[in-house]
Amino acid sequence: MSAPDVIDTKDWGVVATVEKWNVASDRAKGLPPDDTISSEDNLLLNGGIQNLLDLLCNIGSVTDYGTGSYIGVGTSTTAASASHTGLQAGTSARDYQAMESTFPDRTAQTMTWKSVWGSAEGNFAWEEWSIRSASSGTGGEDTGTALNRKVASLGTKASGSEWTLTVTITVS
């Protein structure tokens, strides 16, 4: 009699949380956000998976998803596909922001990234987001490798407001 098959599942739990201040200066004053919205799950992109495996095996000269990484948001509602290389919105309809100080962070098996969009940044409908490494150390657009992508309606940011996007990924 053979041993039963063992199915060993692993979980990649993702939560993206947007905190919204209608008046940008309210966040600096320590006031609570006017609204908070969360979205779960995402899709790892092929390039991000390959980058993670290269980092794990110390192969090549890959960029990491550390302090030089960015979170990007855009207006595209195109369904996520593993073959995507990042946000699908056109250049004028997407915006990447660097990590807030002390991010990213890892506690046990949970990683957290956080970026801030000030009054004049990302003022459009947030329909997609992605975490991206940055090989050049500067801003987002086509540098580095996108780890993941999520299509979710997170709201429409207006000039004068300040929003944060926090992404937590728990691997268990």
pLDDT digits (tens, 9 = 90+) for 19-65: 999 999 999 999 999 999 999 998 888 988 898 888 889 887 777 88
CA 72 to CA 87: how far, in whole Å? 7
Q: Please tell me the predicted confidence (pLDDT) of residue 63.
A: 73
CA 43 to CA 78: how far, in whole Å? 13
Q: Using one digit for the tens of pLDDT, what is the confidence trace for 107-155?
A: 999 999 999 999 999 999 999 999 998 754 445 566 788 999 999 999 9
Helix residue ranges per DSSP H, the chain: 24-28, 46-57
Distances (CA, A) of 110 to 15, 27, 72, 151, 171: 11, 25, 20, 22, 7
Q: Please tell me the predicted confidence (pLDDT) of residue 11.
A: 77
C-alpha atoms less than 13 angstroms from C-alpha of 151 in its C-beta half-sphere: 12
Instruction: Examine residue 32 and say whether the peptide bond preceding it is cis (omega within 30 degrees of 0).
Output: no
Question: Which residue spans within 80-161 are E strands per DSSP?
Answer: 94-98, 105-107, 110-117, 125-132, 148-156
